[in-house]
Structure 1
Amino acid sequence: MRPIAFALIFGTVGASRVSFVPATTLSVLGMGFDHQVTPTPFSRFPSESEGTIRSDVYDLSLNSAGVAIEFATDAPEIYLNYTLASALQCYSMWHMPSTSVSGVDLYAFNDFSSERIMGEWLFVGHFGPPSTNFSGVIGNLGSVMKKYRVHLPLYNTVDEMEIGVDDGFTLEKSETLDLSQRVLWYGTSIAQGAVASRPGTAFTNVIRNSIGMDVVNLGFSGNCLMELDVAEWLVEVEGVSAVVVDCLPNMDASLVTSSTVSLVNKLRDAFGDQVPIVLAEGTTYGSAWISDDVKNDQEAKRSALTAEFNTLIESGMKNLFYVKGEDLGQGDLSTSPTVEGTHLTDIGHQYVADYYSSFLPTILQKYDKEN
């Protein structure tokens, strides 16, 4: 890919030489499998999963949802080149902006400024895709060594990415997370990131930035059905410290009843008793307060999941937890945090992230104390 640098958000591009490195040589977060075994550098399942799972799941696994690149640099300008597989997805969906479908945003760790609470990952700027081949720069960042994360597109496939700085500045791998301790999140379009305004505001990315633990986003839009052939690949992810099963929005009550126990047993057999497994109801639909059909459908699924959870507990299952939809802090119904009744606005993603950023460390510490 030929780099073509131009001013994107801040500053101007000078005449200095820019040196690029492949993003895969930096710290890659949110990947359950090494890029050497995946069909594209930031795909979420390995190439050999093709044909063993439904094609809809495999195709969605090519999307780079939840993947982030961490690095450190003292450069005042950061350049980014990336190539996308899908031209059709370079622009917005009817309910989701192109900034999150195919864009990349840049965050920095605030350990150098008193202007905001220190110790936070904070937004810096955005790289957006006018076409499948994108090149841009964010500048005016100062010349102090800082840690950065770029969050990759939620609904497109990145074929290639490289990050660059002007010659004379340092660009190096930053490893602030222990990748032997990760949360595995198996979910729906909501988990994949729909319909956040930017990748960094998708709740799995917010949780990672909040709790200091990597989150592997295995959200598959419309296709989280608790399938055992998908679970065969879930259990291949290494370094899993907790699993969240967040499939309810894609299922009906009968499928929940027929699938939950076998999926949880599969996960438990693979990961052992030491890994907490969370069954999650998911967020409440925006019109459930007025539509009996919507309310009854959601209540039926939740009741079915509760019943299967109780069955597992009664069978002696250890370290199994349950999250109710009402616990996800969706706020005042007059400002329902969904776009079209199902998928979350940024505020909705933040509500979910706030809850799990408190809940996940609690259940991990609970098990540590008991053992």
Structure 2
Amino acid sequence: MKNLTRNFCLYLFLLLPFSIFGQQQKSDFNYTSAKELLLVGKAMPGGEYFHRVDTAKYNQMPPVVKRLFTNSAGLAICFTTNSPVIKAKWTVTNSGRMGNMTGIAQKGLDLYIKRDGKWQFAGVGSPSGVSSEGTLVDNMGTEEKECLLYLPLYDELKNLEIGTTSDSYIRAGQNPFKNKIVIYGSSILQGASASRPGMAYSSRLSRSSGYNFINLGLSGNGKMEKEVADMVADIDADAFILDCIPNPSPTEITERAAEFVMTLRSKHPDTPIIVIQTLIREKGNFDRKVKKWVKQQNEAIAKQIEILRKNNVKNLYFIKEDHFLGTDHEGSTDGVHPNDLGFDRMLQKYKPHLSKILKVKFDKE
């Protein structure tokens, strides 16, 4: 009995340091609200902190559009820290998962750190439900690091705290992007089906150029309504890109496209406006109805651009579909939305046009 008691006490004695060490490890981190740092990628100030648009101010927009603008697609938190570990706690509103998105892209986090002047992937926050907590990156040095933490593409972020070691600092960074190029579009722009939030194509354009490409993608609802045109026209932008043609019907394109462009032009007389045809959906490779529908969409927008140009609308540019996803039919996740390979190919087609029109230089990827 004495031996049993002695062995048990010895076990507790040996276990105690590990228990204390674990408690110290847990408490050796400070958490900073993202609201104390710098938010980049927002179209204009105002409204809920993690919303892309102030939906209370623009309350005449369709309800589904207002709801989608609460998603934090394209937004990122910019900060500097010398912490060797970066953690995060965050809360979203929806526990459901989308079939054509990774959980990380839909409701997770995506950390980039600048190295040798270029943004490089550093780690992700993988969601575990409505509330999540995890380590984004570990075992780094204690030198100062410039960080960019991308927010969920397809959920509303309610709260975010960034954890750093208690003996380190974390500070708001300076905006790494200049000017403001607004992209209005569909689910493809919002980020479906990129693997991570930072892989949405607007964010890739920003990192590649140093320009601020604003993500106004609306899943299934980039339909050029007048109320949305009025909101977009209120943004102080250096250029507007309309990559929304995948969503409206050919009839809606005919009825709305010219008015949308002229609404922008009325408030921005000289600002470049770039319209992009819809990509050819891989679903239409065998589905003849889909193939015909996409052809009609692209014909409808081409006709509207022709009419606008005949009416002497200046600084209006048109990017025609040019095998945006390649020709091997491997560029999509579900026959509609690009995978990362598809987005690579899209950007290879987009960048030469954008570089020439906007005088923007993109890094080679």
Give TM-score scaled by structure 2 length. 0.87
Moved more, 160-169 or 146-155: 160-169
Q: Which runs of 5+ in 2 are unaligned?
A: 1-22, 361-365
Aligned-residue RMSD, C-alpha? 2.0
Query: Match of 1:224, as an amino acid?
Result: G
Secondary structure of the structure 1 residue equivalent to 2:71: coil
> RCO (CA 8 Å, sep 6+): is it higher in 1 or 2?
1
Q: Aligned residue for 2:42?
A: 31
Equivalent residues of 1:210, 1:357 under 8 A apart = no
Equivalent residues of 1:201, 1:350 under 8 A apart = no
Q: 1:24 to 1:358 in 2, by over 3 A?
A: farther
Which of 232, 252, 257 is 1:260 aligned to?
Answer: 257
Offset at residue 146 of structure 1 (A): 1.7
Query: Match of 2:216, as an amino acid?
Result: L
Q: Aligned residue for 1:108?
A: 113
Aligned length: 337
Q: 1:206 to 1:235 in 2, by over 3 A?
A: same
Secondary structure of the structure 2 residue equivalent to 1:14: helix
Offset at residue 15 of structure 1 (A): 5.0
**Residue deviations 1:8-37 (CA, integer Å, cap 9, x gap):** xxxx99355322322123221111132xx3
Which of 285, 289, 294 is 2:290 aligned to?
Answer: 294
Equivalent residues of 1:206, 1:350 under 8 A apart = no
Equivalent residues of 2:111, 2:149 under 8 A apart = yes
Which of 348, 354, 357 is 2:342 aligned to?
Answer: 348
Offset at residue 295 of structure 1 (A): 2.1
Query: Match of 2:336, as an amino acid?
Result: T
Q: Aligned residue for 1:5?
A: none
Equivalent residues of 1:82, 1:160 under 8 A apart = yes
Offset at residue 314 of structure 1 (A): 1.5
Q: 1:158 to 1:58 in 2, by over 3 A?
A: same
Q: 1:32 to 1:264 in 2, by over 3 A?
A: same
Give TM-score scaled by structure 1 length. 0.86
Segments of 4+ moved more than 4 angstroms: none
Q: Aligned residue for 2:98?
A: 93
Offset at residue 282 of structure 1 (A): 2.4
**Residue deviations 1:245-299 (CA, integer Å, cap 9, x gap):** 11111112111111111100001111221x2111111221003344332222111
Offset at residue 154 of structure 1 (A): 0.7
Moved more, 152-161 or 13-22: 13-22
Moved more, 124-133 or 160-169: 160-169
Offset at residue 141 of structure 1 (A): 2.1
**Residue deviations 1:97-120 (CA, integer Å, cap 9, x gap):** 211110111111121xxxxxxx33
Which of 238, 245, 249 is 1:248 aligned to?
Answer: 245
Which of 316, 331, 342 is 2:326 aligned to?
Answer: 331
Equivalent residues of 2:43, 2:214 under 8 A apart = yes
Offset at residue 338 of structure 1 (A): 0.9
Offset at residue 178 of structure 1 (A): 4.5
Which of 53, 60, 68 is 2:68 aligned to?
Answer: 60
Q: Aligned residue for 2:131?
A: 133
Q: Is 1:316 equivalent to 2:312 in the alignment?
A: yes
Aligned-residue identity in percent: 28
Q: Which runs of 5+ in 1 are unaligned?
A: 1-11, 112-118, 367-371
Q: 1:360 to 1:177 in 2, by over 3 A?
A: farther
Q: 1:13 to 1:63 in 2, by over 3 A?
A: farther
* Rounded Cα–Cα distance in structure 2 between residues aligned with 1:262 and 1:50: 19
Moved more, 147-156 or 163-172: 163-172
Q: Aligned residue for 1:307?
A: 303
**Residue deviations 1:321-360 (CA, integer Å, cap 9, x gap):** 11112163x223242x112211111111222233334432
Query: Match of 1:347, as an amino acid?
Result: L
* Rounded Cα–Cα distance in structure 2 between residues aligned with 1:15 and 1:230: 47
What are the residue-to-residue correspondences of 1:1-371 with 2, within 5 Å? 14-15=25-26, 17-34=28-45, 37-39=46-48, 41-49=49-57, 51-88=59-96, 92-111=97-116, 119-137=117-135, 138-179=137-178, 181-238=179-236, 240-273=237-270, 275-326=271-322, 328=324, 330-335=325-330, 337-365=331-359
